[in-house]
Structure 1
Amino acid sequence: MGCTTLTYVFKYWFCELLSLVNIIGQLFLVDRFLGGEFMKYGIKVLEFSDRDQEERVDPMIFVFPRMTKCHFHIFGPSGTIERRDSLCLLPLNMLNEKTFIFIWFWYVILATLLSFLVLYRLILLAMPGLRPRIMYQHNRAVPIEVFQAFTNKTSIGDWWILYILSKNIDPMVYRDIMTRLAKEVETSASNNAYLGNPVGGGGKEGLHASSAV
């Protein structure tokens, strides 16, 4: 299952990366739609709320004006059509300014969380020694030596599948599964070394003997 799980985990993480790219792309698209005023929209709103009343320049009104000049055509005293200028209230913009404040904070929160998530995945990929500790923190019913014995002989794809599995089954059942798998991986590694085919010649040992589990 080594190649299969590797393919799965990288597709899974690639989808997370695409989510980050999607959020960043939407930030730039909305910013262009609003004439370059969206990127700092939330920051300007926060700064506006902290300023004195005399110094306030509402950024929401600048982006979404509530009043505008309107032209009306009416019949005059002589029966001819006359043009009258007036000020009109735009109630939809009062809704838009609140909506886009929420969207700005929502996009920033998502982009921040996804950035940390992608960074976390890269750390997992670059530092295999963290993987058994993460599994141990999630399920202390299994000794950390069992996790170390397993992760040292398997790929990150196998580790990921078992990490996801640990969140969905009973801890005691998971302990039995991990203990048996660790023993089987160790036995397989010893047999390969004895036969002159050490593990790591072309990749790490994958999950096997799943029927026994």
Structure 2
Amino acid sequence: MGGDFVGGILGSVGTFRKLWRGTIDDWIDRMSHVYTVGLLIIFAFATMKGVYLRDNINCWVPKEFTDTFEKYAHDYCWISNTYYIPMDEPIPVDIKARESETITYYQWVPLILIIQAFMFKLPYFIWKLFNGYSGLSLEKVIHLSEQTEFDEAESRRVTIDHLARFLDKWLNGQKEYHWNVMVRMRHRLSRVCCFFCDKRAGTFLSALFLSIKVLYLLNVVGQFFLLNAFMATDYNLYGFEIINHLAANGEWRESPRFPKVTLCDFEIRQLQNIQRFTVQCVLPINMFNEKIFIFLWFWLVLVAVLAAYNLLQWLFISVLKRNRATFIKKYLKITNDLQTAYDKKLAAKFADTYLHDDGVFVLRIVTKNTSDIITTELVQLLFERYKNQVKTSNMNDLETSFDEDAKEPLQ
């Protein structure tokens, strides 16, 4: 486990080969980059079959049309778009009025779904590519932590001890060794702005992770505007309209956004004469498009709500300094390492000056992907290493900074 372990844990930088492996986030992120991407790809292939692999449009043409003319009408109306006028309304004489009702999206539904899937995956690509610049392979940490869940107690203890040792090496390697005006300014900025990435201040991973959370939320909100532009309709309110209609009428109705019967205009040149025809066409694919985009609207709303909640949750966790100490103390209480007031103050110092934001963040991600048992053992071992460092290096200075009444001998 020696050299390979060191090479895997320290100094790892993201590569494109690692984009699809590992779980280094939480389940709400996976709602976007795993489950939503999977749904969109399934929908894309389902509509692709209807668009490219069978009769995708059928038009009712005049009797005088030959088979060749009929095929021409079908092909032309498919590639040049159709327009929708309700049956109870007259067809406008003005050509521009007809063109304003043109439906342009049905040929491109598979492509737009694939583009959406890529956009939902993009924040995860960015996270995978850049989290390794922290100097730690977070993916490797999670992988080893997950493996220990199935090991015997002794074997698990050995693995977690190795993991604690290299996390300790990583944390000590991120310390600032030169303290000047620029360093102080950078540290203050990282404390004020939780999105300021600074490896030396211990905020690189946590700030990057929060930035990715913002990208997930912006992406899912932007999807509504993308679909608005794509379908040339007010898609933002689509779901509310469906709910209101069902509540008022108790029955399903055909949506004007996804009409099954449309109209198509085309011109045929015969010598010097140009004849204009208007034919009525049926779009079977819109029967599937309607159901897909209704489901997609409600799914996007769900993902947007979860992403917003998740961002606020992580902001609360990251911005408030006391949350770091609270998180660490929860696990140290399990192992009875907090027996005195001095131990509690030392645990707070451990969280703030040793682990920093990034160290606590790594432990939170380990917890979300494994179990509290693994995190408890890992926190205990890291705390022991920290206490040993305090004892051997600067114990006297540390004791004088504490309240005299709170001092009790370490157990």
CA pair 30-142 structure 1, distance change in 2 beyond 3 A: farther
Contact 2:206 2:318 in 1 (8 A): no
CA distance in 2 between partners of 1:90 and 1:173 (Å): 56
SS of 1:88's partner is strand
Deviations 1:101-151 (A, max 9, x none): 122112111111111111111101222323454567789844584898132
CA distance in 2 between partners of 1:104 and 1:47 (Å): 15
Offset, 1:23: 1.5
Unaligned segments of structure 1, at least 5 residues:
75-80, 200-213
Q: What one-letter code is carried by the residue in structure 1 that aligns with 2:283?
A: L
Partner of 2:231: 34
1:178 corresponds to which of 350, 372, 379: 379
Partner of 2:214: 17
CA pair 8-42 structure 1, distance change in 2 beyond 3 A: same
Partner of 2:288: 95
CA distance in 2 between partners of 1:94 and 1:87 (Å): 17
SS of 1:39's partner is helix
Partner of 2:309: 116
Offset, 1:179: 2.1
CA pair 22-28 structure 1, distance change in 2 beyond 3 A: same
CA pair 14-138 structure 1, distance change in 2 beyond 3 A: farther
Please report the TM-score for the alignment, with normalisation by the length of structure 1: 0.68
Question: How do residues 1-213 of structure 1 correspond to structure 2 at under 5 angstroms?
Answer: 1=171, 2=174, 3=199, 6-52=203-249, 58=253, 61-70=255-264, 87-134=280-327, 141-142=334-335, 145=338, 149=347, 150-153=350-353, 154-167=355-368, 174-186=375-387, 188=389, 191-192=393-394, 194=396
Offset, 1:173: 5.4
In the alignment of these two chains, the number of paired residues is 190
CA distance in 2 between partners of 1:189 and 1:178 (Å): 16
Q: What one-letter code is carried by the residue in structure 2 that aligns with 1:65?
A: P
Contact 1:139 1:171 in 2 (8 A): no
Q: CA RMSD in A?
A: 3.9
Partner of 1:204: none
Offset, 1:25: 1.6
Deviations 1:22-70 (A, max 9, x none): 21222111112222410000111111111126xx894x52211222234
CA distance in 1 between partners of 2:297 and 2:322 (Å): 38
Offset, 1:71: 5.7
CA distance in 1 between partners of 2:306 and 2:363 (Å): 24
Unaligned segments of structure 2, at least 5 residues:
1-170, 175-198, 269-273, 402-411
Q: What one-letter code is carried by the residue in structure 2 that aligns with 1:23?
A: V
Offset, 1:9: 2.5
Partner of 1:207: none
Q: What one-letter code is carried by the residue in structure 2 that aligns with 1:184?
A: R
